[in-house]
Amino acid sequence: MSPRRSAAQALQTRHLIVAAGVDIASTEGLDAITLGRLAEELSMSKSGVIGHFGSKLDLQLGVVAEAVRIYRREVILPAAHAAAGLPRLRKLVEAWISHLERGVFPGGCFFTQVTTDYDSRRGPLHDVARQLTDNWRTYLGEQIEVAISDGSFAADVDSDQVIFEATGLMLSLNHAMQLDLDPKAIQHARAGFERLIDGCLAGRNVPGAGTQDV
């Protein structure tokens, strides 16, 4: 066997391991992932899994990295071609809702699962979850600031407030779909985001703005 083929096969095996881990973590949480369970799921030896991931933590971090790759493919990249600001913000919202609607992750929003599990626990997984959340909020904030700068949004829009409300809608949608099995969850989420964005448009009522004289 050539070294090149051996390296390609090792990479493919690693991908199969983390892909299976993503499915488990999405529905049961990262703590449900073990070297032994992944070996059983994939009909591999435990030593074979250890050869790719030396510890449970390494495996969990690899699974999170794979989930990030999937999320970028399904949510970030579809919106990347849109102009920065309001057009990209609308595309991001639609792509985020769409990836839940299509069941990209079997347990709903992968990152809602991870942040819920690790929000009050300290350690590497907490730090990664916190960093990913910060990165997403920063990216949303950049689009909001561009929309303010180019006049699409009113000048006194509070971007932090918009991000807070958008995050609440995202969490609510995931909850409604996964726990309540609400058939109208997607419809409600789209209406909620549309109302939030409309409230930010120049000349409209602004979320987070102070009381105006009438």
> What is the set of domains in the chain, with CATH numbers?
3-200 (1.10.357.10)
- The pLDDT-based confidence of 191 (bands split at 50, 70, 90) is very high
Give the pLDDT mean for 95-108. 94
- The pLDDT-based confidence of 2 (bands split at 50, 70, 90) is low
- Express each pLDDT in 152-187 by its tens digit: 999 999 999 999 999 999 999 999 999 999 999 999
Give just the sign of the alpha carbon dihedral 159, 126, 171, 21.
Answer: positive
- The pLDDT-based confidence of 213 (bands split at 50, 70, 90) is very low
- pLDDT, residue 150, reads 96
- What does pTM read for this prediction? 0.85
- The pLDDT-based confidence of 194 (bands split at 50, 70, 90) is very high
Residue with tokens 């303010």: 148
> In 161-178, which positions are buried (b, 16+ CB within 10 angstroms) versus exposed (e)?
bbbebbeebbeebbebbb
Q: Is the pLDDT of residue 214 over 50?
A: no
Structure tokens at 17: 């391991």
Long-range contacts of 126-134 (CB under 8 A, 24+ apart): 128/61, 128/64, 129/64, 132/64, 132/68
Contact status, residue 93 vs residue 157, Cβ threshold 8 Å: no
- The pLDDT-based confidence of 79 (bands split at 50, 70, 90) is very high
